[in-house]
Structure 1
């Protein structure tokens, strides 16, 4: 784990511990002791205590009856469930988008064409850039754009919460993007054609592809 002498905030400490969990470097049930973590990270105990509280709230750690805190490391089946739920929610958000456009009446075709163009433009940028970090940014932007189009702030926050953690880590660290780009292109084309079923299927395939790659990477370590 990297020292954080120049990163004293609880959020950055929590992110560092979260990355250790997501990368598979921590074992299930491994104790997260305040004193040991503070010494390892080069920080005081207070921000570590606050960071651990955040991790408990986010499901990356659990507080035991003896007040000790242990890391929560999901198994392969649980990880697949996380990605399946993320894909299902996003597919349902697409269905809401298409239903809303249908109820809006005569402008539905032009509106959906605009949505499709926006999504395809993001994917075109993702395909053309060579910098892996930029590809990741455009991939995340695709999801942000799609989620926002549902025009439901509560569900938008819910999906963002699901995306944060295992999904965003997979997108940021599994950098072979050819196959995922193809699946997202299929989803964008289906949205433009008003085919909620095809869009949902492409999105679920995309998320499960990442779930498989994520767990394969852990098994190789």
Structure 2
């Protein structure tokens, strides 16, 4: 039950038909998400002809349009995150703990790179090292990068960190298309067999940080 004078907000309708609400903050359980107007305090769930509403709210309270689903920000992102975690779990079941740890490190590294590039530049990116048993898990690394939908720069940075933990220096190369061909940019590791890089004009290079070559974890 909602009390009169409750603030506006959102609540969720469980599929099982039971309703739960904390004293100060409604929590999402399952089912449909709905919004209630400010100052409204109906008996929950609202039904036609029932509910205690302030004056002037009766028509809206008894309207079938009142109980309408609303979109929660990040809904598709949450679904995508669940798919990524499920793929990481399957990787662990197939390849054992080394594969699981490598996949999980890759997912975390991609998210870290995205956060850092939003607020900083390429030279400021700092990543923790991969697990000590990740040396032979390059295919797992590439698979996890694909699951995370990492772009070319994110992939290059995470792979550069992975190689650095094995004392293998790999330089990131960033190139752009030639003038007149339409602007496009691409990042790759020097030495990769990357067909797209053949059409690019090299713009800058980012050597592996020395700290990445000294620490493996």
Calculate the TM-score normalised by the size of structure 2.
0.22
Larger Cα-atom Rg: 2
Calculate the TM-score normalised by the size of structure 1.
0.21
- The structure in which a higher percent of residues are helix is 1
Greater relative contact order, per chain length (Cα 8 Å cut-off, separation 6+): 1
